[in-house]
């Protein structure tokens, strides 16, 4: 929000269009596989290759996933929606039109709530509609090559209202949508591989104005960080334009992450006139109430609700709850760990530090974490019972991560249990006092601060395994002698 102060008198109006690839096995209108790593043009048939006479037949699961997402975004689900032809020429669009939904899409107005900048935000969802993806073209100078494997992959386009005012808020909205799609298991949300694609609409206007400025679209931004940076750049650029008395051109721009700037892709003047009309090959999609209710009852607890429950029932700080619920698998992991130890805050701390750091360093997903939630929980319980200290637990954790071991057997094998035997700790204390006569003398003559020095020496000599409370107690006693 730095630019708010800089661009005094201006505000940005931001809306997002998010294309989510739905996780179906087969394509939207034919039986070809949606498998990502298939060989060139392996998954094509007369329907998705656009051969004359081929007829589309709608995939049931596509409709189910669209309704599921619509419900999660609080959208009105239309009993009847329609497919239309969006017409333009491009070699990777074999029919010369894309089957999409124009007016009356399957999901009508709704909204999504999420946390941004520590506050709860609500952004309206204008619509979410179904469409087929186009193929992929690669360009080689004097010719282009076309792969139609992607042609006919089901997409759900989620369109937000122009409700956002800052780049950070827009990026958080996109993250929230991705989180919901992943919770619902309808899209894997991979921006880099293109299974989630973001187009951003940005305009600026003087604060207090209600009319919208000229809208610029930034296409295909492939990370949340870039969404934020691209919008920030664009707000600056447009504000400068207006301040210099220039006109902001309505156009489509691309973001270049290396240069951190946007540049013109095409002017909207020669934008396509798509000449939509209802697709005569497809009947209206009918979704009866019973089906909607059946899908509604299958909805999982969504990130925001889950975070609220973690705060209310498990007394987690809001910050922890928000981070832990971003990914469903991480939230599941946390819940299992906290059940195993009965100490939610400790489980949260371990996950947000050790677990997440190790996952990042090794590039592993939480589902494949070598330390299971149950073992992490068990280890935390051992700390709480005083079997190991928090410091030693880090050693135990590393060993569990490396060898997929059980905490109890690691503690036993490596002799890491805390020394709680008063006689054993007492001997170490005696040794320390005997080895440091000058410090002992200073302490006894009033230098109280040396107490910490003795504690440190005892812990060092016991390799960190002496029970700290016992050390304190025995030291205090023996120093008084």
Partner 1 sequence: MLTEEIVQSIAKLARLRLSEGEATAFGRQLSAVLRSFNEISQVDTAGVEPLVTPSEITPRLRADVVEPAAGAEEIIANAPEKTGRLFKVPPVV
Residues that bind partner 1 (CB under 8 A): 24-26, 31-33, 39-46, 49, 51, 57-63, 82, 87, 89-91, 137, 139-148, 272-273, 275, 278, 280, 282-286
CA dist., res. 92 & res. 148, Å (int):
7
User: Which value, to the nearest 10 degrees, does the dihedral of the CA atoms of residues 407, 413, 419, 423 take?
Assistant: 150
3-state class (DSSP) for residue 102: coil
In angstroms, give the least distance from the CB of 200 to partner 1: 23
In angstroms, give the least distance from the CB of 212 to partner 1: 27
Q: Which is nearer to partner 1, 56 or 179 (CB)?
A: 56
In angstroms, give the least distance from the CB of 188 to partner 1: 16
> 315: alpha, beta or left, given left = phi > 0 and alpha = psi -120 to 50?
left
In angstroms, give the least distance from the CB of 105 to partner 1: 13
CA dist., res. 226 & res. 198, Å (int):
10
Q: Which is nearer to partner 1, 63 or 314 (CB)?
A: 63
Q: What is the CA radius of gyration of the chain?
A: 30
Number of residues that this document lists for the chain:
481
In angstroms, give the least distance from the CB of 32 to partner 1: 5
CA dist., res. 243 & res. 264, Å (int):
20
Q: Which is nearer to partner 1, 280 or 415 (CB)?
A: 280
Which residues have CB under 8 Å from 423's CB, separation 6+?
A: none
Q: Which is nearer to partner 1, 33 or 353 (CB)?
A: 33
DSSP 107: B
Q: Which is nearer to partner 1, 146 or 382 (CB)?
A: 146
Q: Which is nearer to partner 1, 39 or 208 (CB)?
A: 39
102-123 core/surface letters (b: 16 or more CB in 10 A; e: else)? bebbbbbebebebbbeeeebeb
Other beta carbons less than 10 A from residue 88's beta carbon: 14
In angstroms, give the least distance from the CB of 275 to partner 1: 7
Q: DSSP strand E in 228-291: where?
A: 251-256, 261-267, 277-278, 285-286
CA dist., res. 481 & res. 474, Å (int):
11
Q: Which is nearer to partner 1, 271 or 367 (CB)?
A: 271
In angstroms, give the least distance from the CB of 139 to partner 1: 4
């Amino acid at each position: 929000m730095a630019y708010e102060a800089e661009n005094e008198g201006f505000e940005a109006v931001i809306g997002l269009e998010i294309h989510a690839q739905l996780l179906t096995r087969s394509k939207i209108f034919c039986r070809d596989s949606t498998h990502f790593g298939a060989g060139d043009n392996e998954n094509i048939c007369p329907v998705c290759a656009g051969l004359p006479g081929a007829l589309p037949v709608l995939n049931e699961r596509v409709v189910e996933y669209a309704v599921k997402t619509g419900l999660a975004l609080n959208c009105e689900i239309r009993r009847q929606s329609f497919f239309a032809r969006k017409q333009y020429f491009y070699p990777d669009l074999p029919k010369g039109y894309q089957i999409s939904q124009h007016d009356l899409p399957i999901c009508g107005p709704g909204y999504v709530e999420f946390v941004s900048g520590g506050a709860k935000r609500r952004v309206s969802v204008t619509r979410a509609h179904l469409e087929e993806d186009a193929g992929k073209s690669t360009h080689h100078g004097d010719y282009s090559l076309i792969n139609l494997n992607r042609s006919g992959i089901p997409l759900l386009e989620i369109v937000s209202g122009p409700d956002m005012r800052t780049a950070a808020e827009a990026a958080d909205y996109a993250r929230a949508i991705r989180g919901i799609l992943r919770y619902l298991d309808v899209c894997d949300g991979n921006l880099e591989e293109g299974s989630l694609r973001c187009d951003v609409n940005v305009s600026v206007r003087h604060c207090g104005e209600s009319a919208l400025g000229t809208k610029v679209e930034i296409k295909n931004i492939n990370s949340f960080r870039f969404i934020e940076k691209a919008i920030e750049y664009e707000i600056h650029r447009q504000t400068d334009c207006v301040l210099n008395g220039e006109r902001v051109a309505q156009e489509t721009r691309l973001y270049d992450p290396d240069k951190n700037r946007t540049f013109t892709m095409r002017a909207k003047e020669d934008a396509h006139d798509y000449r939509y009309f209802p697709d005569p090959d497809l009947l209206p999609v009918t979704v009866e109430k019973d089906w909607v209710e059946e899908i509604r009852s299958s909805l999982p607890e969504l990130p925001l609700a889950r975070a609220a429950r973690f705060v209310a029932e498990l007394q987690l700080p809001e910050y922890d709850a928000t981070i832990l619920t971003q990914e469903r698998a991480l939230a599941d992991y946390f819940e299992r760990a906290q059940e195993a130890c009965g100490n939610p805050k400790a489980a949260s701390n371990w996950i947000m530090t050790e677990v997440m750091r190790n996952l990042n360093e090794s590039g592993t997903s939480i589902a494949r974490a070598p330390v299971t939630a149950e073992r992490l929980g068990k280890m935390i319980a051992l700390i709480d019972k005083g079997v190991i200290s928090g410091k030693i637990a880090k050693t135990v954790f590393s060993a569990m991560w490396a060898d997929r071991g059980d905490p109890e057997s690691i503690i036993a094998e490596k002799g890491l249990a805390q020394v709680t035997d008063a006689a054993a700790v007492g001997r170490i204390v005696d040794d320390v006092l005997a080895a440091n006569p000058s410090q002992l003398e200073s302490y006894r003559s009033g230098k109280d601060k040396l107490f910490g020095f003795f504690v440190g020496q005892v812990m060092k000599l016991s390799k960190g395994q002496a029970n700290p409370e016992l050390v304190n107690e025995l030291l205090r006693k023996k120093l008084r002698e």
